[in-house]
Structure 1
Amino acid sequence: MLLDNLSLFLRIVEKGGMAAAGRELGLSPATVSERLAALEAHYGARLLNRTTRSLSLTDEGRDLVEGAQRLLNEAEDLETRIRLGVNRVAGIIHVHAPVDLGRNKLSGVFDAFLDEHPEVSIDLTLGDGYVDLAGMGADLAIRYGALGDSSLKLRKLADSARIVVASPAYLARCGTPATPDDLLHHNCLLMRFGTDADRFWPFEKDGRKQVLAVRGNRIANDGGLVRKWCVKGHGIARKSQWDIADDLAAGRLIPLLQDYEVAPIPLQVVYPPGQNQPRRVRLLLEALVQAFAEDEQSD
């Protein structure tokens, strides 16, 4: 029962409320309250600050979030090994990834992995914003750029250049920018991360760095939608090379301002600290590293 209550606690944190967690798990509000109270009684500490309008973690609750998923993973891995044997790979893996990358690259990696390990399930959440791995119970998350949470572990998958691109139709209609300053006269399609739109685009040539504030009439927090707008000819976008590799190969998008590209940023898989990752998670991690290594070798 303790493990079930820990799982419920993590779901409450992930969903941001007791009612939402109860609905997802098919539990009544009274049952959710009773089980949370039982968990707090077990640990002798209040885990959540609750009002009619908000819910927040106490210090003890934050500590429990960090360890609860590890305990649940260890318990599931132990049960799997006892039930199926140490050489069988089974169970669920929770993964978070950027929208475009998940659809265009990772889905193929996961298909091959599930074909090889039919007793594994992958629960994939796609989103372009920051996620709290412990809070949402993720085993692995794929992220671009520097790692903000230094407590997490990481494996680099590849370098990822962000490329300024447009469709042939847009360029035929509006012209091709020759320098970054020319973008001031173009419609730029912007990604929004949280509350901030990615409107400051960096460039570099011959050691001279420049950051340009671009503008456009379309902003979205969905990288896939920004890519779709760009392919349809609505404007110029700045996208990761991994998100648009197929579009570039097929000529649906054309790279621009290549002489002004800045150094690529790392694409990496991050995961919570601890040495007791289930075998299925370790195998998926290695499959991801191998898939990106093969792609880089083929370029």
Structure 2
Amino acid sequence: MIRLDDLGLFVRSAALGGFSGAAREADLLPGQVSAAIQRLERALDVRLFARSTRSLRLTAEGERYLPYAQEALQALRDGHERLRSMPGGALNGMLQIAAPSDFGRNVLLPWLAAFRRRHPALQLRLVFSDQVSDVFREPVDVAFRYSPSTHASFIALPLAPANRRVLVASPGYLARRGTPASVDQLAQHDCLPWTRGERAHDQWTFVEDGHRRQVRVRGSLQAGDGDVARRLALEGDGIAYKSWLDVRDDVLAGRLVRLLPQVQGEPAPLHLVCPHRKQFSPAVQQLHAWVRERCDALAAD
């Protein structure tokens, strides 16, 4: 008899490349995950993983079995989603959502709170981070992303297709350092490059007179979190290059000033990403419509 929990631990161990990651995720000990895999292997009478002291990898049998295990677990999730779709549009269950740090905390959060109040039986688990969530490997139902990759398996639903990055700085910074008259003058200013991992994104892309340009910027403050970069700009520590959705309220309130409006910033279309079409559940459909309506209202503004 195959246990569903063992099947889930097999899929997660394969995705995360080890028993330790699957154990942390399930709040278990690595030995318990190892025992679950051994039970599954006995039930199937095959070896699913090749183990050594330094590595863990799927065997040929494990590679062949993995898609069937994933499909079985997905079928159970689909059945659960059908049960969660109650009459009258009410939703229940758990929806796990990932979003970029700044957009998530300062724009999306009140929209999600209102969405949950509309569906009080629905639970939301939120992860706001600029580390891009792998919707195939991590326990995430949907992710909000700027400019998502064109992975063939992704379902990317548009939310703000015309959104772009804009240059912003605080009135205090501009009073102290002056206002750049061109993108070339950014080299003379303190800018706020963002980082991802070990890499600093210090080459900013613009479209000027129909031509794409890259400008290298410098700054003694670098942030690996979009919300931190925005806060540094508000404090007058430099010029930030941010998604318009992230800084719109600050610009309209006068806390930040948009610079060089005649220069087109890099496209940053916002999408709602699902790993598979099968996961486009009623809850995801209604969440997409809810956020799209609010993004459309901002664009109309």
Fold conserved between structures, TM > 0.5: yes
Shift of 1:278: 2.9
Displacement of 1:93 in angstroms is 0.7
Query: Which residue in the other structure is 1:143 paired with?
Result: 145
**What do the CA deviations read for 1:44-97 (whole angstroms, capped 9, x no partner)?**
66555654455556644764686466335224325546xx67964211011111
SS at match of 1:242: helix
Tell me the residue number matched to 2:23: 22
Alignment match, 1:71? 75
Q: Which shows bigger deviation, 58-67 or 180-189?
A: 58-67
How far apart are the structure 2 equivalents of 1:121 and 1:237?
Answer: 35
The question of whether the paired residues in 2 share the 8 Å contact of 1:74 and 1:277 is answered with: no
Alignment of 1:1-299 (within 5 A): 2-9=3-10, 11-12=12-13, 17-41=18-42, 50-55=51-56, 59-60=63-64, 63=67, 67=71, 70-80=74-84, 88-158=90-160, 159-262=162-265, 264-275=267-278, 277-297=280-300, 299=301
CA 1:266–1:61 in structure 2 vs 1: closer, same or farther (change >3 Å)? farther
Unaligned runs of 5+ in 1: none
Deviation at 1:163, TM superposition (A): 0.5
Secondary structure in 1 matching 2:262: helix
Deviation of 1:22 (Å): 2.5
User: Which SS does the other structure have where 2:137 is aligned?
Assistant: helix
Taking a change above 3 Å as real, the CA distance of residues 141 and 23 of structure 1, as seen in their structure-2 partners, is closer
Report the Cα distance in structure 2 between the residues aligned to 1:70 and 1:34, rounded to whole angstroms: 23
Query: Which region of structure 1 is more displaced relative to structure 2, 142-151 or 20-29?
Result: 20-29
**C-alpha displacement of 1:156:** 0.6
Q: 1:166 to 1:132 in 2, by over 3 A?
A: same
In 2, Cα distance between the equivalents of 1:107 and 1:241?
17
Give me the identity figure in percent: 35
The total of aligned residue pairs comes to 296
User: SS at the partner of 1:259?
Assistant: coil
Alignment check: 8 A CA contact 1:65 1:134 kept: no
What are the Cα deviations for residues 243-270 of structure 1, in whole angstroms up to 9, with x where unaligned?
A: 1122112211111111122363321111
TM-score by length of 1: 0.86
Residue 5 of structure 1 and its aligned partner are, at CA, apart by 2.8
Note the C-alpha offset of 1:105: 1.4
* Ranges in structure 2 where 5+ consecutive residues have no aligned partner: none
Q: Specify the SS of the correspondent of 1:244.
A: helix
The normalised TM-score by structure 2 is 0.86
Q: Is the 8 A contact 1:151 1:272 kept in 2?
A: yes
Return the alpha-carbon distance in structure 1 between the equivalents of residues 69 and 200 of structure 2. 30
Indicate the RMSD between aligned Cα atoms, in angstroms.
Answer: 2.8
SS at match of 2:190: coil
Cα deviations by residue, 1:15-60 (Å, 9 ceiling, x for unpaired) = 6643344345332332211112334455666555654455556644
